[in-house]
Amino acid sequence: MSTSGLIALREASFPAMGTEVSVVVPSATPAGATDRVRLLFARWEQVLSRFDCDSELSRLNDAAGSPFRASPLLFRVLQAALRAARATDGLFDPALGGQLVAAGYDRDFPQVRRRPGPQGHATCGGAWRRILMNPETRVVTIPADCAIDLGGIAKGMAVDAAIAGLRDCAVTSALVSAGGDLRVIGRPPAHPRWGIALDEVGGRVIALSTGAMATSSTSGRAWRAGDGTSHHLIDPDTGRPSASGTRAVTVAARTCAQAEVAAKAALLAGPLEGADLLRRLGLPAIVVPHHGDPVTIGEWPEGRPWT
């Protein structure tokens, strides 16, 4: 996704959490506000990166099978991930780190070019159900046979936290995007809404006046694997990259974390089941199957703009 048709705005971009983060604010906004967002993403990456062997998440995975006292940030994000897993009946599964490594996603994505094909017997998901968490002590015990990956939901929660931080700085109009998953507050100067171009549907521009959007796609993070291609969206039923028949799902929601979870769950469910899931959740969306035309869910993006 990209913004379009915006004037009197300033954009700051930087790499973080395996993607490109953009902060778009009115030109008069003090630079310290965007610096605060940069520092927030750096801190979250330091704690939650699966690719940094010194991160707290890596240390949790290394301690699999034993109690681990988590920091408030790691505990909060993992707690949110487990709530999302329960809400989607395991379609969203934060305990698929080992399956991602087996598929070839074993390093920061810019370094993933061509990897061997899947090796050995695939292990299905569901280990998240055996994760133990003590809210009073923040002690976490993950099963010895699993590894945690918090990529998508951590990125969405970081966007939400960045928006909250900008509000604390008295910023009343802003857009924060992490690889296209974004949230807005207020309105851009001289425009009634933010214009968002959806790359997955031919760059079609959508008007967004509040809230968040996120896209889950099998093409955004794909790489050569053996004689074919692979991607980062693991089907928890098979332990392999999804072959659900859905290429991409874009969801609008109140928060970026909600949109992230719903988009991923809907993609993994497949075109029909995913659309049904989004209708039950009451979330506007676009579902793009591998074959056939995109399907719109709810009143957005067709009809009146989602607000």
- Residue 85 maps to a domain: yes
Residues in the chain: 307
Residues spanned by the domain of 292 = 2-297
Domain membership of residue 302 (yes or no) is no
Q: Is the dihedral of CA 114, 56, 163, 151 positive or negative?
A: positive
**119 domain-assigned:** yes
Per residue, the 3-state secondary structure of 72-88, as one string, reads: HHHHHHHHHHHHHHHHC
pLDDT tens-place values along the chain, 307 residues long: 555 444 588 999 999 998 999 999 999 898 899 999 999 999 999 999 988 899 999 999 999 999 999 999 999 999 999 999 999 999 999 999 888 777 665 555 555 555 555 555 568 778 999 999 999 999 999 999 899 999 889 999 999 999 999 999 999 999 999 988 999 999 888 888 888 888 777 667 888 888 999 998 876 665 456 555 655 688 888 878 867 788 899 999 999 999 999 999 999 999 999 999 999 999 999 999 988 888 889 876 543 443 3
Cβ neighbors of 47 (< 8 A, separation 6 or more) are 55, 56, 57, 71, 73, 74
Looking at the domain assignment, is residue 287 inside a domain?
yes
* Structural domain contains residue 137: yes
Residue 304: inside a domain: no
CATH number, domain of 235, equals 3.10.520.10
Q: How far apart are CA 261 and CA 84, in angstroms?
A: 7
109: number of Cβ within 10 Å: 17
Q: In degrees rounded to 5, what are phi and psi of residue 39? A: -65, -35
> What is the tally of structural domains in the chain?
1
Predicted local confidence at residue 116, as pLDDT: 56
Has residue 305 been placed in a domain?
A: no
- Percentages helix, strand, coil for the chain (3-state, rounded to 5) are 35, 25, 40
